[in-house]
Amino acid sequence: RTLDAISANHPCALQSLRSGRPSGVIRTASRLLEKANAVLIGPGIPSDDLNLIPLLCLFIREAKNLVIDAGALIAIAHDKEHIFPLLRHRDIPAVLTPHMGEFARITAGVGEISPDDPIQVAAMILANELKSVIVLKNSKTAIAVPDGHMYINDIENSGMAKGGSGDVLAGLLAADHNVRRVRTV
């Protein structure tokens, strides 16, 4: 019934029932990946969910375009030795969207970290280290790309400090990949 209610109110939302076992979740996710141009993982998933790490690893290996946020970022911080190499080997850089707390967890023990300059770290170390795009959410959003370039949105907006606004940003980033695909078909 829940899926029916969501479908009625959000007809564009993709939904699928899943088993509680990681093997069933992976099978379902693999099937859905065949149709997906972009994947967003993290919002609404507790970082200790038993399915999170297997799903995250599958998406890092198989998703064409990937946005990683929220609980999935915390999972990365807990399993860097396994997940960092997977991110480095993607053909298309993943997009990680940490807020300052998630960023601190991910960067703990990575390279020459200067806690006084997190934007510098995002631009020079983490994006390069992970071969990923880092969208560091703070009062000013910094976007660091693997080649060393950095872009800063210095228009401060207190509305972005509200709970859930990062989930919206991550959703917009993932949706943009699908919109561009539709325009080119």
- pLDDT of 72 > 90? The answer is yes
pLDDT recorded at residue 153: 84
pLDDT recorded at residue 67: 96
What is the pLDDT averaged over residues 85-104?
93
Q: The tokens of 9 are what?
A: 């109110």
Which range among 26-35, 104-113, 124-133 shows the weakest confidence by mean pLDDT?
A: 104-113
Taking only the tens place, the pLDDT of each residue in 127-157 is 999 999 999 888 778 889 999 888 888 887 7
- pLDDT of 46 > 60? The answer is yes
pLDDT recorded at residue 108: 82
pLDDT recorded at residue 62: 97
- pLDDT of 185 > 70? The answer is no
Share of the chain above pLDDT 90, in %: 38
pLDDT tier, 182 (very low <50, low <70, confident <90, very high otherwise): very low
Listed in order, strand segments (DSSP E) in 3-161 are 38-41, 65-68, 95-96, 133-136, 141-144, 150-153
d(CA 79, CA 132): 17
pLDDT tier, 181 (very low <50, low <70, confident <90, very high otherwise): very low
**Pick from 97, 126, 95, 96: which is nearest to 113 by CA?**
126
* Nearest 10 degrees: Cα torsion 156, 45, 29, 51: 140
Q: Are 53 and 75 in contact (CB under 8 A)?
A: yes
Q: Please give the span between the terminal C-alpha atoms of the chain, in angstroms, as a whole number.
A: 34
pLDDT recorded at residue 7: 75
- pLDDT of 13 > 80? The answer is no
Note the pTM of the prediction, 2 decimals: 0.85
